[in-house]
Structure 1
Amino acid sequence: MRLFGEDILPLAAEHVVLAVVPVLIGLVISLVLGWWAWRVPAVRRVLVPLTGVLYTIPSLALFVVMPLILGTRILDPLNVAAALVLYAVALLVRTVVDGLDEVPDDVMTAAVAMGYRPGGLLVGVQLPLAVPVLIGGLRVATVSSFSLVAVGAIIGQGALGALFTQGFERFYTAQIVFGLVSIVVLALIFDALWVLVGRLLAPWTRAARGPGRSAAEDDATVGARV
């Protein structure tokens, strides 16, 4: 499909890759760092606030600085991907720690008494019970990532964000609006996918909701950062 002189589907596919892959990489890193922070109070006191501060760095500044850190070209998509991994880690480390905090002490005690070691305890007990909290963090990180990818258009790596810059150059409002709506739709699709994953991995949350509450009432509030 070609609109405004651009092949929209390749741009959309690129946008999805640039937005989702860094979040998944960030999740893996955050699971390690978050578990470490949860186990070691001294690390927690430093790491959790530090990752929070990291998220306050303006995205455009980070995109521009990345080539200096990585030794890449200014137009290399790796710059955007690496910056988005950092933002995902900044959001998800606290989420992992909070999720592990939510696991009841009596469940932990029972698991240890059954012979679970730290690694098995994390994978077999803590992470499954922390799924609702983790999914909430992943939803926020993913929606945020979709919006931040568009900022990369300023350095030539924004996928659908390129519709913004071209629209501004041409004073073509329709192109800007189309790019905005496309990004919002993609973000909502992946937000809904995370909700589905959460319900599949933690079906007990639906039973705990009760007959008088809807899924929408229990869904986490998701914010997007531009």
Structure 2
Amino acid sequence: MSELTGQTIGVLGGTGPQGKGLALRWARAGLKVVIGSRSAERAEQAAAELAEQAGLAGSDLVSGADNAGCAAAADLVLVAVPWEGHDALLTSLREQLAGKIVIDCVNPLGFDKQGPFPLRVEEGSAAQQAEALLPDSRVTAAFHHVSAVTLADLSVEKIDLDVLVLGDDREATDQVRALADTIPGVRGVFGGRLRNAGQVEALTANLIAINRRYKTHAGIRITDLP
């Protein structure tokens, strides 16, 4: 936690299942979290619900704001929004996100009768698109493969999962790995440069297919690490 002392975690898309689930786990770990949404009222309502679920009602650890307010208030900002609105949102927040560590967990996926499949992204990946749109931010990619259902279920005390963290700024990826480590059972693992984010995002389609077939909430583990 030393790398995160005094840091505020912003969650853009914090009213959706993935963002809200991660925010819940971080709040439970004692981190200060700001939920972001297009509607400040909706964000504040989600923050109040999350604080109660985490046993933090009345605490100032969890708050809500519109997306611009969330981005401005945070030191590390998770982007957990639908792919369709990814570019427009980040373009609108370029000023607020300048100098911040941005963690992109967006998976550009399509769905048809055969199931999930990765979409082609001109820049190579959602994370690389974020890097192009946010030249003054420290963009990383992480948290693509965490089950929102598992995150929301606090009866699951330890989540059996490795989080691959990608980026070109080693200090930033170290902080994001530390953020992953705050969730019991989760381990942050450096997964390479940001240019390799595309295959990590695409792997989510395989995990969804596994989960549907076996009716589970599968994640990944990297073997042979200390």
Q: TM-score, normalised by structure 2?
A: 0.24
Structure with more of its chain in strand, by fraction: 2
Structure number with larger C-alpha Rg: 1
Structure with more of its chain in helix, by fraction: 1
Q: TM-score, normalised by structure 1?
A: 0.24
